[in-house]
Structure 1
Amino acid sequence: MTPERKLLLRGDSTLMSLRQKILCICDSVVELEDGKELEPVDQSRASFCSEFVTHMVLYPSSFIFIHDTFYVDYSLPNSTDISEPIREFMAKKKCFDPVISRNIEGVRIIDLKLRLFNRLHQSSEHHFYCGRLGQPYVFQHSGTCEHLLIFHDLRLLEKSDAQELDRYPMVLYEKKGDVRCAACKRGYAAFVVEECERLPSPYMMFCDSCFREFFFLHGHKIGRFTAHPYMPINRFTIL
C-alpha cells in the first residue's frame, strides 16, 4: 500500500487545513441521468461548485477520527455528525474504549499531543487526548468513502523550513491520478462504469472512445449500467 499524498504540517496548522488538503475523486462524482451518459459535463468545475449535483453536495458530511475523538467537519451546508451511529455502536461493545465527537474547527495539530505511544489522561475537569505516531487513523467523507491518515514523524521547525504558516500543509508527494483504460490499455480513463452484467468486475474505468464503443450503439445505451465521469485528484479545481 503506497500513500496518495505526503504532507508537511506545523504544530499550529489546523486540523481543518489538513482536511481540506485531502482530495478524492468521490467528491467529484456527478450522477449522470440514465440514457444521457454521453452528454458533456464540465467536471473541471464540478468538484467544488454548488451548481453541480456532485457527491460533495449530496453527501457533505465528513470527520477525522484520531485516538478517541471524531473531529466533525460542519463547514459545508447541511453537514451533520455522521459519527453518531458509529459511536452508538461502539458504546454497546465492551471491546471499545469511550469515544467522543467535537467540532473540527479551531483544533490544531499540536492539540492532538502526538506521541510515540498511546496514553489517555483523565481528570475531573479536563479530558486530554494523545495521538500516536505511526497509528492509522481514519478520514471518512462522501458517504462511506474512507482514507487512512498516518502521522509518521515529529520534529522541530528549522531555519531551512518555510516559516510562513499559510504555506502549510505543504504537499511533499502526490501520487499520479491518471489511470489507463481497462479495455485498450492505451487511453486514459474518462468514465467509471458500475453495475454492468457484461463486466468481470464490480466497476471498471474506460477511456471516452472505448466507453462509447462498448456501451452504446448508434448513440443508444446497451444494457444496464451506471456511469459517472472520472477526474484524477491532481486535476481538481477548488473554487
Structure 2
Amino acid sequence: MIVRKKLEVIDLYKSGFFYIEGCFYNDFLYSGAIDYGQVICDWSKDPAPEIGSMQISSMEDTSFLDLTLRLGQPYVNMHQGDCEYLIVFSDIRMLCPQDTQGIREYPFVTNKRLKNQTKCMLLGGWCTTVYNSEHAPEDPRFFCEQWMAYNSERALEDPSFFCKQCFRALHYNQHGNKTGNFQAFRFFDSNSVI
C-alpha cells in the first residue's frame, strides 16, 4: 500500500516577506524559498518610478528591535504565492509593571478583524490558488476579495466582490479580453488589516 503525503500549500509556496519602510525582509526558512523582493528592487533602480531605493534583508537575521516603524503606516506581509496582508502598528507605549515583562512576548496582536471580511461572491471566499494545474491543493485556500464589479451580467449582486482568480475566470476569456459590459475596480477591505 502506497501512502501519499497530503499536499500542503507550504509545499508549493515556501517563500514570503514583510515589506517595512523600504526593505523586503524575506523568509528563507525553507530551502527553495524565492527572493520576492529582488525583482521589485531591480525595478526601483530605474529612475522612471521615482520611488527611491529599496533594500533586501533576511527575516531570520532581523529582530523586531531592529525595525524602524511609523504608527498608522500600512506595511505588507506576503506568503504562499500571492496571499497579501496589510499590517498596521496602531499603538506604542512604555512598558509598565502590569504588562508582561518577557521580551519574547512582544509584539502581540491586540485585534484581528478577519471575521467580517468581504468574501469572494463566487466561491464564498474558498477559492483554489492554482487553476488548471496538476498541483492544485486538495483543500482550497482562503482568499480575500481583490476586485469589485458593477453591472456584471454574471453576478447576482451589484456591486459584487471577487478574488483575483474568480474575477478573471468569470469576466475575461482565455485570451484576456473582457466579456460583458461591466465596470471593475481594485477593492481594499479595511477588515483585512491585521
With the shorter chain as reference, the TM-score category is: 0.5 to 0.7
The one of 61, 65, 68 equivalent to 1:106 is: 61
Q: Provide closer, same or farther for how the CA distance between residues 89 and 177 of structure 1 changes in structure 2, counting only shifts above 3 A.
A: same
Residue equivalent to 1:135: 73
The one of 86, 97, 106 equivalent to 1:148 is: 86
Identity %: 28
2:7 is aligned with 1:53: yes
Q: Show CA shifts across 1:137-183 (max 9, x none).
A: 11121222221122222221111111123433433222354889969
Q: Provide closer, same or farther for how the CA distance between residues 172 and 165 of structure 1 changes in structure 2, counting only shifts above 3 A.
A: same
Residue equivalent to 2:180: none
Does structure 1 retain, via aligned residues, the 8 Å contact 2:14–2:80?
A: yes
**Relative contact order, higher structure (CA 8 A, sep 6+):** 1
Does structure 2 retain, via aligned residues, the 8 Å contact 1:193–1:203?
A: no
Q: Show CA shifts across 1:104-159 (max 9, x none).
A: 1132222113xxxxxxxxxxxxxxxxx32221111121222221122222221111
Q: Show CA shifts across 1:216-238 (max 9, x none).
A: xxxxxxxxxxxxxxxxxxxxxxx
* Larger-Rg structure: 1
Does structure 2 retain, via aligned residues, the 8 Å contact 1:61–1:74?
A: yes
User: When the two structures are aligned, how many residues end up with a matched partner?
Assistant: 130
Write the distance in 1 (CA, Å) between the matches of 2:120 and 2:52. 45
Runs of 5+ in structure 1 lacking a partner?
Answer: 1-50, 114-130, 184-188, 205-239
Residue equivalent to 2:150: none
1:202 Cα deviation from its structure 2 partner = 7.7
Q: Provide closer, same or farther for how the CA distance between residues 151 and 172 of structure 1 changes in structure 2, counting only shifts above 3 A.
A: closer
2:21 is aligned with 1:67: yes
Q: Provide closer, same or farther for how the CA distance between residues 136 and 158 of structure 1 changes in structure 2, counting only shifts above 3 A.
A: same
Write the distance in 1 (CA, Å) between the matches of 2:112 and 2:22. 29
1:93 Cα deviation from its structure 2 partner = 3.6
Q: Provide closer, same or farther for how the CA distance between residues 170 and 67 of structure 1 changes in structure 2, counting only shifts above 3 A.
A: closer
2:44 is aligned with 1:90: yes
Q: Provide closer, same or farther for how the CA distance between residues 57 and 137 of structure 1 changes in structure 2, counting only shifts above 3 A.
A: same
Write the distance in 2 (CA, Å) between the matches of 1:100 and 1:90. 10
SS of equivalent residue, structure 2 residue 109: strand
Q: What is the alpha-carbon root mean square deviation over aligned residues? A: 3.3
Normalization by structure 2: what TM-score?
Answer: 0.55
Question: What residue identity is the alignment partner of 1:63?
Answer: F
Normalization by structure 1: what TM-score?
Answer: 0.45
Question: What residue identity is the alignment partner of 2:99?
Answer: D
Aligned positions of 1:1-239 closer than 5 A: 51-94=5-48, 95-113=50-68, 131-175=69-113, 177=115, 191-192=126-127, 200=155
Q: Show CA shifts across 1:60-87 (max 9, x none).
A: 1111111121111101231121111111
Write the distance in 1 (CA, Å) between the matches of 2:125 and 2:22. 39
